[in-house]
Amino acid sequence: MFEQSVDKLRSFIPGNGKKKARAYQRREIPRDQHNVSRSVISEPAKKVLSRLNNSGYEAYLVGGGVRDALLGRQPKDFDIATNATPEEVHDLFRNSRLIGRRFRIVHVVFGREVIEVTTFRGNATDADDSNTDDDRKTSEHGLLLRDNVYGNLEEDALRRDFTVNALYYCIRNFTVVDFANGMEDLQNRQLRLIGDPETRYREDPVRMLRAIRFAAKMDFDIEPETEAPIRALAPLLTHIPPARLFEEVLKLFSAGYGEATYELLSHYNLLEPLFPETVKAIEAGESDELIRQALRNTDSRIAQGKSVTPYFLFAAMLWPALQREWNHRQDNGDPVQPALHGAIGKVIGRQVQATSIPKRFSGPMKEIWELQMRLPRRQGKRAFVTMSHPRFRAAYDFLLVREDCGEIEPGLGQWWTEFQRMDERGQERMLSELSSDAPKKRRRRKPVKRPAP
């Protein structure tokens, strides 16, 4: 189907150890046989590619940018791979910064757009033994702790995670270079790991989350050998730092495919390492319909170009766990409000052991939960005080989600919707009607004192 170059078959596939890996062949797809156009590449990315090429280095657009362009989508990120070292790239661009310990990379900054430039990675087993200990380290579980072994273009391609992400676009001759049959998998809408799946997942368990994210985003099937080890290896995610998993959760649920992602995470037992208390609560009988409804709303907002807030997302994901703990404390005799505060502290305390939650998000999340008790209390000046709260709008949206999923009786959300639309007179009238509808307390009559006989 595609023109094949005269390059020899490559037998190295990372993660296969001494096992014979299947051979891959380099293919160069000319401009008239693919749909990647320079017009979809941002100007900053083209500047970086051009400067690297003009300085005598190889440089290619790689990864999601090429993949999305081939799928007919507008790429959001532009990553570049080159044979220049991070220090050489840094010297070429004054607007760049070196980052990373595990992988040393360069960020070239153009205003709000950041172009990520990585040096071609090599096979650590081919590296000099004296350098291996310093440049490539793994943990006792096989987790890759440091990997700064540099190589050539072919080695870099076969070290990437999925075949559809190992496609390179050359801006000089407009060809797409394919080393791992990525074009074929792209056409078959299939997600396949390069190399032995179990070893690749052990090297970096987050690859399992990436498989879910890409499958949900592109509506791809996960190739059988790629999906086979996922359920058994899901607990390896507990070895990943909570801060990194927090970022991965945001990527999973903030891409516009949150509901599909949730289904896949649950299917492959990957939700438990991320939200252990939520999974326990659901298994104990708590409903997850609020989570699903919140993710539907989030997907809709993203489709409309609206923003989503991490604290609202985490408030929804942890709601079943909070409900379970809150009810448990009330059953043990705690008053409603102290029970809620105690439940909030316990649920968040356990969650941060799985995924960290920065205080700028955990604070508003608590307020959303606490306001669910205040929203039904509207008499007198309470409605105005509640509406002036900085987290009122988020709490109101959360209330609507609770109504939509059938957790509470409808009506309260509509009242608050109308109350916000009314002018001052209208609001006073609504509060007056609310007071008149409220059952009045019967005044006790004072006993009449009778004169002594």
Q: Are strands 27-29 and 176-178 parallel, antiparallel or unpaired?
A: antiparallel
User: Of the candidates 329, 351, 352, which has an alpha carbon nearest to the alpha carbon of residue 340?
Assistant: 329
Q: What is the 3-state secondary structure (H, E, C) of the chain?
A: CCCECCCCCECCCCCCCCCCCCCECCEEECHHHCCCCHHHCCHHHHHHHHHHHHCCCCEEEECHHHHHHHCCCCCCCCEEEECCCHHHHHHHCCCEEEECCCCCEEEEEECCEEEEEEECECCHHHCCHHHHHHHEEECCCCCEEEECCECCHHHHHHCCCEHHHCEEECCCCCCEEECCCHHHHHHCCEECECCCHHHHHHHCCHHHHHHHHHHHHHCCEECHHHHCCHHHHHHHHHHCCHHHHHHHHHHHHCCCCHHHHHHHHHHCCCHHHHCHHHHHHHHCCCCCHHHHHHHHHHHHHHHCCCCCCHHHHHHHHCHHHHHHHHHHHHHCCCCHHHHHHHHHHHHHHHHCCCCCCCHHHHHHHHHHHHHHHHCCCCCCCHHHHHHCCCCHHHHHHHHHHHHHCCCCCCCHHHHHHHHHHCCHHHHHHHHHHHHHHCCCCCCCCCCCCCCCC
126 is catalytic: no
Q: Choose, from 79, 178, 204, 288, the residue flagged as catalytic.
A: 79
CA–CA distance, 288 with 361 (Å, rounded to integer): 22
- For residue 437, indicate whether it is catalytic: no
What would you report as the CA-atom Rg of the chain, rounded to the nearest whole angstrom? 28
Q: Annotated catalytic, 161?
A: yes
Catalytic residue among 161, 185, 196, 288: 161
Tell me the C-alpha distance between 449 and 453, whole Å.
12
Q: Which position among 77, 135, 221, 334 bears the catalytic label?
A: 77
CA distance 406 to 5: 60
Residues assigned a catalytic role: 77, 79, 161
